[in-house]
Chain A
């Protein structure tokens, strides 16, 4: 049941309009940061206020204006959209608090631009989440690229600019492929309002057309989902400040990509059509290869953020693979993994940032014994590492359980082994960091002379997310009913299993 409501539009508008306010308050840092937090809380409040309706099956929808004859700019709070929107707006609150500590700790320049672009990016990500049709989705998807660009090049070093160019090249190309497919559908007169069974039923039997559309649409979204070989912008973009990497490159941008995979595969093509054509297999194999290869690459990198970046590439493909398997179990797992990986990976990035602020160290090999100096930070890091490896009862164990069950369900046992291998490799590239931090002391680094954690503004968020990685493993419905939303999506897709 769909109810007309201004709430979805407000949830997107508040950060977008608030960004102007943030930019205007540049001369008063304290006010600006209060406003940033207020914006994040207001947005979260708006999103959460739609949750009960969505779980009850009353979906709020706001139709704003006509973008092209017959195609509206429309936002709809359906279960899949709410899952992503809640995650993004919740983590935005934590990241804002964290950013204040980080940016002040490092005395970064151009903070107003940073906070404003941050708010804009979250607004665009919420737009991606709540978009009710493909054109609206494309609109926010492109805006997300544009708004995150200033964040990627925030440092303004040559390396940052090169990374920015690469970022634009990849993501704009992806957006254009997506646009190409959207235009084609519009020309064929197909209404692309997202629907759980897909909207391309009329193309059944026209395999060539379906394949071409699949290449354009899925190809467009997997750029942001960083499926190999389209991944190389993501490690490059790690040159951005850590809060940016944390929210945008572990949550908003890349998750917009995987969320796009969900939208395109499940809500545009539909499970049945993809099963018939077999298009899912290509994507599944690509994603499976990415899971393994990216993990192997992560093992080789000494730079902490870079290692985390490859870890992200790997885990994103978990989700893509889960969606591509097209079964309800795998889809539940994929959506849970989207949430769980968001909260887990953001913890790891928060920790990396905290270490950077306190010690200016970025390489794994320089972190021997740091656990004694920053026990809370490294404790949270350890929690997140356990979650990443898929150890019960952490959240990523739950999601991987469903993903693995989905692989079995789809009679694709090989992919089950991919998930297991991915977990082992995750442990392989993360546990040594924890081990070094707590149980090894290096003669080349003496930690005497300084002591302690980063400021409370940084430690509190990372502790919260670290604990949530555990809590959501046990009670994934607290407090945002992520599990209900995920199963609601999975059961509605009509993938008869």
Chain B
């Protein structure tokens, strides 16, 4: 029986998440720590960083320490028409840290659903993302965006690739002022520029955002907006409905992602802890016909959450010598629910609540 009290937050999360994903039919997927380097380099644009730790296998093959989970899962799944393959994982990956520029081990948990994705699958993934965050803390926000809607708006305003790349960056940064400047540089019609600027400011309650989007671009958005409305209606029944908002600043790489994308934040953690979305475009690049949706939760970030620190390392420090009945004393204390450290001398930095000195000289004092 595991004592829950000694588990770290990320360890508890791993158990909780696995149990949650199993309920929805996601099978655990265990992958090798290594993969052929060539495989990643063929798809390096999809990776957060193209700096990968490599080494030679015993037979000379160049291998890489896994920098990503999704690519490995896609590689090992076949297209099965009409079916969906659902897997969940808990894996360590190796990437270069943005802050230290050194390699870092990142603990990741998540799921992937590959196959003929429909509205229910999108709802299930978003709902599970919300439930995953709630398992760690109820104080969370899950932002949802729709890249099909954003793409439609960008294509309508200006098809130029350079414009679209820069505009997407400004929308991701909620940077309306530079977006307006960009529109002026590209001689964008002022009404169109105003529509694009609203993608920066329109965010928050799903109902309000949908109303504003309907007014703004309902006439030419059609199906995409209807899908977003249906998704929102399904999410109304979620106990976390109020914490799931629409925000078009969630912009995953549009070369790989499409449709619904999302990002989750927990209060007390300075960065997004959950990231995911539909990646049908990546599937096409890998010659797969089916669609896919998934997300990852960065468990290493949970260390940033405030935790209660104990003032003591152990309840009882037992000091003993060769004459003392130490085993008996330690077992008795432990069976009484205490934590014990048996030592022959007081360790310099050990913080203990009580001292039990069984040494001969202590008995004679």
Q: Do A and B come from one complex?
A: no
**A-to-B contact residues, CB < 8 Å:** none
